[in-house]
Amino acid sequence: MQRPDGSWDPFDDHVIDFALARLRQGERVALVTLFSIDGASPRPLGAQMAVTAGGESVGYLSGGCLERAVIAEAQEAMEQGANRLVRYGKGSPYLDIQLPCGSAIELHFDVTLTVAALAKLDRAYRARTTGTLDIGPPPGTKGPVLTRHYRPAPRLLVAGTGAAAVQLLLLGRVSGFETELLSQDAPTRAACAREGLTARPILGTGHARDVAADFRTAFVLMFHDHDWEQDFLAAALASEAFYIGAQGSRSVHAARRQRLLAAGFDASEVARIRGPAGLFHGTKSAYALAASVLAEIIDAEQRQFPSLVSLDHSPVARRYSAARAAAGAVRP
């Protein structure tokens, strides 16, 4: 995503907004996609990199051993105006470019995407819905059609107070999460404001109605006064949040469970709440607690959203992709 100062994060996982911005400025852009993996790879199938004709790029496809070669290949593809599929590593014609892990990957270079196609993906992303892009092998080559899924950015919503809440939001931001704090505590909100974090005041538990947690949201309660929790937990359980966590000891969590069961929540619903929140417990600093909770959130996110792509090997899918490749087709 674009930073407040107008620059772009070169290691962002989401590259569509950068590619769209450069296309709108009249620049040529190649969208490079990790199309197949033979062996191991530090990046997942469907990982992407956007490259301009001038060599500017956002995204990454390896641990750092390949990106310069990818930029050069993308520039050549843009000069020729044709998509291509290139193999790197084991079995590649590029003998001077080897992957340290001994594996091989294939990269798809798409130089035909249009502003309209990328704008449709960008609108879906900003509306927090999922868009898809079909990526097929270049004409005259064989292979599956890869459908790349562009899910909304992960979101971290924290309700509570204290240093750990602020540290969790800071760690979440640098890890690619959209972040927001709900807090009744003015000093906690002020600490967030100093760090450029979004914070909203809550004046009572009735503000739990304002909780908007979609399927890409992690919702964490970090109240020291657990009387604030009940309504927020109810709102979280009524949402699609992929992760719900609550701070406190094991005994506090046991009491929390009993209150929710007594309020009529089903045991399977209550089991959605991770408590005490975090991969490891007994931490004695706000930094360690925040790292523990974020690690658990990332683990849950990767388990629930394991793949960026789906593959279709059927001849019909290949014909569909070939027919629409020049338009950079985006499926609804």
Which pLDDT band holds residue 201 (cuts at 50, 70, 90)? very high
β-pair partners for 58: 50
pLDDT confidence of residue 206:
65
Question: Which spans in 27-180 are helix H?
Answer: 67-80, 115-126, 163-174
Residue type, 16: I
Which pLDDT band holds residue 315 (cuts at 50, 70, 90)? low
114-158 pLDDT, tens digit per residue, is 999 999 999 999 999 999 999 987 777 777 899 999 999 999 999
Of the ranges 122-126, 165-169, 176-180, 209-213, which one carries the lowest mean pLDDT score? Answer: 209-213
β-pair partners for 220: 158, 245
Q: What is the pTM of this model?
A: 0.86
Count of helix runs (H) and strand runs (E) in the chain? 10, 15
**Helix (H) or strand (E) segment spanning residue 22:** helix 16-24
Identify the structural domains of the chain with CATH numbers, from first to last.
16-151+307-331 (no CATH), 155-304 (3.40.50.720)
The answer for residues whose C-beta is within 8 angstroms of residue 95's C-beta and 6 or more apart is: none
- The answer, yes or no, to whether residue 324 has pLDDT greater than 60, is no
Distance separating alpha carbons of residues 245 and 172, to the nearest angstrom: 14
